[in-house]
Amino acid sequence: MRQPTSKNQACNFRPGQMIKGRWHGNQYQIVRLLGEGAIGKVYLANRTGQPVAMKVARESMSVSSEVRALRQISKVRGVSLGPFFVDMDDLEGAHGSTSFYVMEYIDGEPFLSFINKRGKEWMALFLIQLLTDLSALHESGWVFGDLKPENLIVTQKTPSLRWIDVGGMTKMGRSIKEYTEFFDRGYWGLGDRKAEPSYDLFAVAMLIMNVGYPKRFQRINGGKKELLDKLKHQPSLSPYRDVIVKAIEHRYDDASQMKVDLMKVMKKKLTVSTPEKMHVRMKPTHKKRAHKRVSNVRMERKYKGTLETAVFSSFLLFLYILYLLG
């Protein structure tokens, strides 16, 4: 359904434009457009010198719904993924009244972009963090709903996963109000769209699939067999096969169970096997030259250095996991 032109225009702001709330009187200066979705647009703005994110919606009901979700997240102990709520107000303009809300601006890198640059080991780490917070969210009676890479960002300073869009959050037992087909079990014919923990866990499994298939893939016949075939033909996903299968078969009762299995995968990947022999000894012959021996020594040192670096990096990653999990 196309939105009326006037409502679309009401969401259009230009860089440098000053926005003043009708009721609270807070002023914001627009910096640039951050993104656009079905509900409205999100802008980077300045408020008294501090960066904030402003979401302008075409429908006031959408603003109220998302603000309730942001406030709900703040009540969940231990959850720090979502942006914190700042303000909600209306703007009077040529196209009538436009609703908007302001939240924390989270500066970071898109989830998939970060993983592609740093390696898939980080994916498991972030998903363990995600499952920890999903567990707390589910215990509070809510599900995330529209879980996908576009709604996840990795912070710049200390790498940590954060949500940047909570518009799909739905109370347990109700119908999921927002979803993206690739991550939706209903789209694959593997369940309904009822808000329950298993809905989010299916989406987490599809997040892993998305890392293996960055361009995603279209459904042909749907069903478990189609996903298992894709899983089989992507070797990089083989360490996560059991986790993915259990999630799409709804064999996890809660997020904590899936987290335990992912941690087992991480433990295996962090176990570095030291070769029995660091080099192969060659029988000395009168034809060997001195520079050949020197070259072998250099290659051996380089190999050792690479191995030590890998071990050290893995150790740091393991310590970071312990830090995140408390």
Helix (H) or strand (E) holding 306: helix 290-325
Q: Which one from 146, 165, 184, 200 is the annotated catalytic residue?
A: 146
Strand runs labelled E in the chain? 18-20, 27-36, 40-47, 50-57, 85-93, 96-104, 108-110, 142-143, 152-155, 161-163, 170-171
The alpha carbon dihedral of 101, 105, 109, 115 has a sign of negative
Active site residue 146: yes
Number of helices (H) and strands (E), helices first, in the chain? 9, 11
Contact 30, 43 (CB under 8 A): yes
Provide the token pair at 198.
């298993």
HEC per residue, 175-217: ECCCCCHHHCCCCCCCCCCECCHHHHHHHHHHHHHHHHCCCCC
- Write out the catalytic residue numbers: 146
